[in-house]
A and B are shown apart, each in its own frame.
Chain A
Amino acid sequence: MKRNRNLIILFAALLAGLIAPLVTGASGAGFYTEVLLGGLMAGVLYSLVALGFVLIFKASGVFNFAQGAMVLFAALSVARMAEKMPLWAAMLLAVVIMVALAFVIERLVLRPLVNQDPVVLLMATLGVTYFVDGFGQTVWGSDIYEIDLGIAKEPVMILGQLFEGGILINKDDVAATAAAALLVILLALFFQKTKTGRALRAVADDHLAAQSIGIPLNRIWVIVWSLAGIVALVAGVVWGAKLGVQFSISQVALKALPVVILGGFTSIPGAIIGGLIIGVGEKMAEVFLGPVMVKAFDLAGGGIENWFAYVLALLFLLVLPEGLFGEKHIDRV
């Protein structure tokens, strides 16, 4: 009961913060919508990376820090191979590469470390990060590369008559959202309708029970890591098409961390909704709250979005310690 009350207070406060710029007249409706859309677009990308985290954590209990490195590696593979072949072929080949990577990780890292402490596994994935970063740059180079999806980069003005100044929309952002939505639908179908998907859910629920009814754990891990690799590929292509592919996109993974604690480590809808909340929250905070804070405290510039996401996630965690959609667990002594 108390928890529900706290939750309601929290949501009310967030909602108040969300509409404050409009009410106080700090922004016109048109610009406000643009910030909202910008936040949602960023949120979609965070969701895509967070989805990779969640898939792997759900099935193998590994907190995969290497997700960012996988995004980079996948995007680099597509960008460099697309120089020599059509884009669709490059993407298909990249899928093969990501599956191979998943296989290697399962064999060389996960299997020997089975049943270890979660921190040890987390550190092992950091080791994977170092390796994949170095390997990716050795094979593909460290310059800035492009993925050309053939979508115009110039923005389109819409609703010019409704709002002062109109709203700028980018076609590639729309395409990104569509790709993310499609991916989520496909994943949902896969989990609900296929035999493998059901096996995956069984492993996520209780891997000992799953094993005892004959579900091969090792194969499931390979499948899950492959899936995470493919999600990374989509995230990498979307991000890379927008801003170019370079070593630094592996840093995007850090942005997805508050998303997973907000949404819960084990929830796919949590990753999506968490991503959108974080995306909108941090852009709103940066654009509207940032300048106010700079003036009030005489700061050297804004940039509050870097920690705002974490503070937002922490607020949620204090009310819901397992995240928005995480599994509740009860301790027994």
Chain B
Amino acid sequence: MKLAEKMRILAASVGTIAAVVAVTASGPVQAADKEQFFPALVYRTGAYAPNGVPFANGYVDYLKLVNARDGGIGGVKVTFEECETGYATDRGVECYERLKGKGATGATLFQPLSTGITFALTDKAPKDKIPLVTAGYGRADSVDGTVFKWNFPLGGTYWDAADILVQHVGKLQGGTDKLKGKKIALVYHDSPYGKEPIPLLQERSKMHGYELLLLPVTHPGVEQKATWLQIRQQRPDYVFLWGWGVMNSTSIKEAVATGYPREKMYGVWWSGAEPDVLPAGDGAKGYNALVFLAPAGQGQVHKDIIKYVYDKGQGTGKKEEVGEVLYNRGMVSAMMGVEAVKRAQFKYGKKPLTGEQVRWGLENLAIDAAAIKKLGFDGFMNPVGTSCVDHEGAHSGRVQVWDGKKWTVTAGPYESDLQIIKPIIRASAAKYAAEKKIPARDCAKDASS
């Protein structure tokens, strides 16, 4: 290559770098003032896309519906922007930094749909005064609002999920005391997500005397032969599956290959959607999983989404996929965020709200049965009511089974046992507060202000 040519390329690269600096240095652009901005951290590509896509579609479709049907939240238009994280923590943090300042009042709240990203953002959100909503995932100890002021694991945590699963298999045995001497294997995604339920399962194991087998599966989870050989050797009475993405369907396939009965497999609510069972075909028949707030199916709100969004050609995904498990979960997650803004508008007025104001809404959320019906979520939502001490608001779950064609709810609702969970939450939150040197909040004083 000639020198002159190289120089031209050099000039071009210098120009590009200058452009990067110029554009990125300019920072986020301020937009119109009468809008409420919802950032959407999504993953529509990579190893976890099969699960990330339906959730993101549900999330975004609901925000579109709020604009199309209600004209926004209390007259304030909802805007949103997606940012692809690929389920990677560093990209998630970059997305957060990118989107936190957008909109008239900055980001309303973040829902990263990744426990790893949640851990990273838990440090950053308090400084930027933006609430972090992690419906059904994230840090289980962040239920404690006195330490985790900005985290909201609305509707359930992994500790609730693990507790409910133990309750369920106990009931099948004819009482949790009958679990003595039984074996339960936890097949988990080797990340903070998969490790979260372990303390609770160990606590319960001490109480009931069952043996807990811990079988980690390395990201992304396509290589599970050894795991299932161990299951074949140990013959546990139940297998709890804590997987995500392609790991779930692989687990079910390996269970088929090693002859482990699917009826004895119980997935957490992140291992119980259509992309997890469909690839395993008939082999998935009889596999069980938890339901998080909304099961699969369609109700009033789906009719609205079809009418206001899809029939106008505004749909994000495929029309047939409206009403799938993860779609519905994305929708419910978006709805809780929108309701928090509504709640905060009562206090601060119908105008674009800051993250700090929305945080108040999240902490005083009261979605009761009547509100659920009014929103069209009848059958797809449980009442959620939060407070300063309890950032979760609901502790129940149901069990569903896959019959080869669809998910059917078969048992529940179960309430998780707060007697067991609360002390673990306290201890874990206290440890975090000590590590981070966070002073405890006084809820009585905060509530009055």
Contact = CB atoms under 8 A, between A and B. Distances in A.
B257 A153 contact: yes
Interface in B383-412: none
A107 to B, nearest CB: 17
Given A144-B275, A300-B214, A247 B49 contact: yes
Given A143-B275, A248-B221, A302-B215, A243 B44 contact: no
Given A38-B229, A146-B279, A251 B214 contact: no
B249 interface: yes
Interface of B: 44-47, 49-50, 53, 190, 195, 198, 214-218, 220-223, 225-226, 229-230, 232-233, 245-246, 249-250, 253, 256-259, 275, 278-279, 281, 283
Contacts of A291: 230
A242 B250 CA distance: 9
A142 B46 contact: yes
B259 A168 contact: yes
A168 B235 CA distance: 14
A42 interface: yes
Interface string A221-253: 000000000000000000000111011110110
Contacts of A327: none
Nearest to B49: A142
Nearest to A134: B45
Interface residues of A, number: 40
A206 interface: no
Given A146-B279, A153-B256, A252-B223, 8 more contacts: A41-B225, A142-B49, A153-B253, A153-B281, A154-B283, A283-B226, A287-B229, A305-B223
Contacts of A244: 246, 249-250, 253, 279
Contacts of A294: 214
Contact of B220 (A34, A153, A248): A248
- Report whether over half of chain A's contact residues are helix, strand or loop; otherwise say mixed: helix
B259 A247 contact: no
Given A34-B229, A34-B232, A248 B222 contact: yes
Interface of A: 27, 31, 34-35, 38, 41-42, 137, 142-144, 146, 153-155, 168, 170, 242-244, 246-249, 251-252, 255, 282-283, 286-287, 290-291, 294, 300-303, 305-306
A170 B46 contact: no
Contact of A144 (B223, B257, B258, B279): B279
- Report whether over half of chain B's contact residues are helix, strand or loop; otherwise say mixed: helix
Contacts of B281: 146, 153
Contacts of A248: 47, 220-222, 245-246
Contacts of A282: 226
A146 to B, nearest CB: 6
Contacts of B278: 144
A40 B400 CA distance: 37
A6 B46 CA distance: 45
B190 A303 contact: yes
Contacts of A155: 256-259
Given A143-B50, A154-B256, A286 B246 contact: no
Contacts of A286: 226, 229-230
A290 to B, nearest CB: 8
A281 to B, nearest CB: 11
25 contacts: A38-B226, A38-B229, A42-B225, A137-B45, A137-B49, A142-B45, A143-B275, A144-B50, A144-B275, A153-B257, A246-B246, A247-B46, A247-B47, A248-B220, A248-B245, A251-B47, A252-B222, A252-B223, A255-B223, A283-B225, A283-B226, A283-B229, A287-B226, A300-B216, A301-B216
A260 B246 CA distance: 27
